[in-house]
Structure 1
Amino acid sequence: EFLEGNMDIGKKLLRDYINATITFQQLGKELNKSSKSIHRMLGPHGNPRLESILGIIKILQTHEKVKLRAKIVQQAA
Structure 2
Amino acid sequence: MSTITRDYKQTVVERVERDPAFAQALLDEAATLFLSGEPDTARLVLRELVNATVGFEQLAELTHKPSKSLHRMLSPNGNPSMDNLAAIFAAIKNWLQVTFDVRVVASA
- TM-score, with length taken from structure 2: 0.67
CA distance in 1, matches of 2:101, 2:89: 11
Query: For this pair of structures, how many residues does the alignment match?
Result: 76
Superimposed CA distance per residue, residues 5-35 of structure 1 (whole angstroms, 9 cap, x where no aligned partner): 1010000000000000000110001111121
Deviation at 1:69, TM superposition (A): 2.8
Q: Percent identity between the aligned chains? A: 37
1:4 equivalent to 2:4? Answer no
The structural deviation recorded for 1:44 is 1.5
The structure in which a higher percent of residues are helix is 2
SS of the residue corresponding to residue 34 of structure 2 reads: coil
Runs of 4 or more above 4 Å deviation: none
- Residue 64 (structure 1) aligned with residue 100 (structure 2): no
Larger radius of gyration: 2
Unpaired segments ≥5 residues, structure 1:
none
**What is residue 46 of structure 1 aligned with on the other side?**
78
Indicate the RMSD between aligned Cα atoms, in angstroms: 0.9
- Give TM-score scaled by structure 1 length: 0.92
CA distance in 1, matches of 2:106, 2:65: 38
